[in-house]
A = this chain, B = another copy of it.
Amino acid sequence: MDADQFRIAGKHLIDYIADYIESLRTRPVLPDVKPGYINDVVPSEAPEDGEPWIDMFNDIEEVVMKGMTHWHSPNFHAYFPTANSYPAICGDMLSGALSCIGFTWNAAPSCTELEMKMMDWFAQMLGLPDHFCFGSGKGGGGVIQSTASESTLIAMLCSRCEVLQDRGVDHKVEDEAKYDILSRLVAYTSCQSHSSVEKASLLSATRLRMIASNEQMGMDVNALRSQILVDRNHGLIPFIVIATLGTTNTCAFDDLQSIGILCKEEGIWLHVDAAYAGSAFVCPEYRHYMNGIEHVDSFSVNPHKWLLVNFDCNAFWVRDKHLIEDAFNVNPVYLKHENEGKIPDYRHWQIPLGRRFRSLKMWFVFRSYGVKGLQDHIRKQIKLAHLFGELLESDTRFEIVDEIRMGLVCFRLKGNNELNENLIKRINRSRNIFLTPTKVNDRFIIRFAVCARTCNEEDIRFAWSVVQKYANIVLTEMNGNDCTAT
């Protein structure tokens, strides 16, 4: 494909993309394929000779769409949203054209500097303390990571490095004192936190305590305090608490104020995973959920979830940038440059060396929507969640689990788990809407997330009609005909 062919193919694809996104309502949200379907539609070997664009283009429907779960269908209410917007796609296109690798400032100054600027913009938009902004000169700053999982792992590695430094042990040398400390490190999180915290602890080989949650599914701070004491008494070293603002299970919020004060007293790193709900802080009325933010050492939110910046774009801020640079610093000659030390080299801020120019899509999205446009998006989706909640409340066969927070509604049919497992299975098999479940305290719960940017009131009412239809069916099957009326 040469430049002229690209002009044709690329524009062809632009129209296809717009057509696809605008007509998503007409496609079943879930595909009808079995594992291995691709063997029937893709040959087992690459072609020897090049093929024209039109052949590949024609296979998009046959191969890709045939097995696609349409995350941006207005009928997709599973997991949490993942972002998609036109300006973000434009940003990624430009990033692809440049395809620079911004591991050092020198390797692509605009890649580093625009990222610093966007992380400062974003911190201000969320109302974060100014010590997280480069611009404040207070020692902190932000960086784009791929995912919240990586941010959690990186926070653990930073804190681990700090604990070693505090005890006079160089984390780069191989001595017994180091391995002794490493074997005694304990991380803390709520039993409601995301599986990525367990994964990060597994990877960093540190101990992890899953602290019980309270009635609102926030971390039980007294239980946390007691566990820290128990662990200290056993000669272990509490080194990090991972708090969550907006859990995946039920969008619960940990009490950052109380946890933060405790962490300060105990000298423990406090990392906050606000992957989903953090984006809502662009609206001042939701910032009370992060009361206590001044105690936080590192903070992570995914604009690639709820703020219209396409994946991957996890925003990670750290209060003291020297700690992250110390934890990751390896410095070969082939990466040295004249301006070292004057400005961050982001390779020291992440696990990989290479990195794309991801701030372009933040820049395009933030400017295209403006702060007001992003606030409108968040407020609209929360309103739609409450509409779904009202519909649920109008039908006494259902119960809402806990309260509705942000764009997530957790609900269930009154009755046992099997009934609800059956309900969600039937709903998803219909391919009309897509929901995912969770389990809290052994109760099987159905999650309804407002996801697609284009989701509107009619889509919510449609989803509700699907839920009711299959509720009628499963209740009829289970109990006879007496439960179908509302």
Contacts and interface: CB of A to CB of B under 8 A. Distances in A.
B90 A311 contact: no
A101 B82 CA distance: 8
A7 interface: yes
Per assembly, the copies of the chain total: 2
Interface string A339-373: 10011000000011110100010011011111111
B84 A71 contact: no
A53 B368 contact: yes
A333 B439 contact: yes
A22 to B, nearest CB: 5
A146 B328 contact: no
A5 to B, nearest CB: 7
A330 B199 contact: yes
Interface stretch (A118-126, A288-296, A478-486): A118-126
A10 B93 CA distance: 9
A69 B339 CA distance: 14
Interface residues of A, number: 151
A67 B64 CA distance: 37
A415 interface: no
A328 B174 CA distance: 26
B1 A367 contact: no
A83 interface: yes
Contacts of A153: 351
B64 A110 contact: yes
A331 B195 contact: yes
23 contacts: A6-B89, A10-B89, A11-B14, A20-B97, A38-B110, A38-B116, A42-B117, A46-B367, A48-B372, A50-B367, A53-B87, A53-B90, A64-B360, A69-B106, A69-B107, A82-B101, A92-B93, A99-B310, A180-B183, A203-B328, A205-B205, A304-B354, A312-B356
A233 B104 CA distance: 41
Contact of A195 (B9, B84, B135, B330): B330
Contacts of A97: 16-17, 20-21, 84, 89
A110 B117 CA distance: 36
A171 B206 CA distance: 11
B110 A13 contact: no
Contacts of A2: 86
A21 B2 CA distance: 11
A447 interface: yes
Contacts of A204: 203, 205
A477 interface: no
A230 interface: no
Given A42-B117, A195-B335, A328-B199, A94 B50 contact: no
Contact of A6 (B38, B39, B86): B86
Nearest to A135: B44
Given A56-B368, A311-B354, A373-B50, A99 B125 contact: no
A168 interface: no
A370 B3 contact: no
